[in-house]
């Protein structure tokens, strides 16, 4: 999937058929499910994914035709202003996941299980994943994992919890490398990532996400596994692409190297706020005022005179 800015033109003509139907008559699109994504992957039809963090944004993204929304642990940085994803609170993760599903009920919503929510013990991990499915209304949970997590994925699968296995660059382990970075750039590391993806699929994962790897690593995963592969900074061969919506919309000061903003909403927000500051300073009143009826206004004036 290309991240180049699309040519300007009639956006309604470019939109998928189900989205044009929604715009024209207000009906909801047919629900997207994990089965839908598998069928699209089998047909070679790419599906789109975005990480977002609130119900209103999720509603607009569903109307646009986005297939998967991730309640990412990147909210720790984007929403809370914290330095790393490992600071994402578990309770807030559940609330944000449910918010996305309420905003986009016909979209696959993926819960990003936060740091240490699935590492201490399998029993605790299963309980936390179950909360994402019930309280968080998630359709699937995502784990940053390698082959050593295969038994945990198998246990989730036995319990009926769909898993997206996140391989490649793993932000929750960034402390081990001294910061965020790419993965799979040596033959040995690339082979390990492929083996991880295979092992996690065999354990029952319904999807894989691969982050920040050379294109040929993602291609090798596709050739050796059968479940849909979502890519982020992993080349065009993946069945799907995902970005943080704030990077897509031009709201972040420094987008990742693999993200090309398709809008400049940061500048638009700044401009609107600047105009608001000027309007307030000039005592300009916007919108429509609340008014009394003539009789009530006379009664009010009379009460003040007394």
Known catalytic residue: 188? Answer: no
The active-site residue out of 18, 62, 211, 267 is: 211
Burial code of 63-85, b = ≥16 C-beta within 10 A, e = fewer? bebbbbbbbbbbbbbbeeeeebb
Q: Which helix (H) or strand (E) element contains residue 61?
A: helix 55-64
Burial code of 237-271, b = ≥16 C-beta within 10 A, e = fewer? bbbbbbbbbbbbbbbbeebeebbebeeeeeeeeee
| Cβ neighbours for 105, distance < 8 A, ≥ 6 positions apart | 28, 31, 62
The number of beta carbons lying within 10 Å of the beta carbon of residue 302 is 9
Cβ-contact 252, 246 below 8 angstroms: yes
Catalytic residue numbers read 211
């Amino acid at each position: 999937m290309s991240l180049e800015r699309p040519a300007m033109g009639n956006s309604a003509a470019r939109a998928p058929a189900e989205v044009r139907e929604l715009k024209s008559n207000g009906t909801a699109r047919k629900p997207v499910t994990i089965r839908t994504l598998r069928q699209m992957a089998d047909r070679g039809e790419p599906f789109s994914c975005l990480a977002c963090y609130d119900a209103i944004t999720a509603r607009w993204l569903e109307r646009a035709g986005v297939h998967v929304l991730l309640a990412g642990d990147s909210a720790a940085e984007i929403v809370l202003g914290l330095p790393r994803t490992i600071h994402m609170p578990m309770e807030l993760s559940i609330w944000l996941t449910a918010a996305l599903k309420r905003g986009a009920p016909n979209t696959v919503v993926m819960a990003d299980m936060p740091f240490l929510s699935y590492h201490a013990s399998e029993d605790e991990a299963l309980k936390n994943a179950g909360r994402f499915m019930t309280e968080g209304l998630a359709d699937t949970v995502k784990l940053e994992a390698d082959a050593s997590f295969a038994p945990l994925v198998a246990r989730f699968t036995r319990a009926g919890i769909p898993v997206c296995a996140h391989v490649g660059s793993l932000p929750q382990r960034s402390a081990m490398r001294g910061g965020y970075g790419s993965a799979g750039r040596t033959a040995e590391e690339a082979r390990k990532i492929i083996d991880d993806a295979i092992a996690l699929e065999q354990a029952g994962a319904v999807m894989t996400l691969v982050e920040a790897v050379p294109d040929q690593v993602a291609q090798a995963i596709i050739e050796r596994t059968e479940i849909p592969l979502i890519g982020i900074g992993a080349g065009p061969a993946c069945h799907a692409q995902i970005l943080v919506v704030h990077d897509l919309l031009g709201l972040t000061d420094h987008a990742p190297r693999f993200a090309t903003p398709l809008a400049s909403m940061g500048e638009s927000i700044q401009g609107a706020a600047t105009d608001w500051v000027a309007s307030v300073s000039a005592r300009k009143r916007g919108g429509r005022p609340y008014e009394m009826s003539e009789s009530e206004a006379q009664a009010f004036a009379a009460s003040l005179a007394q």
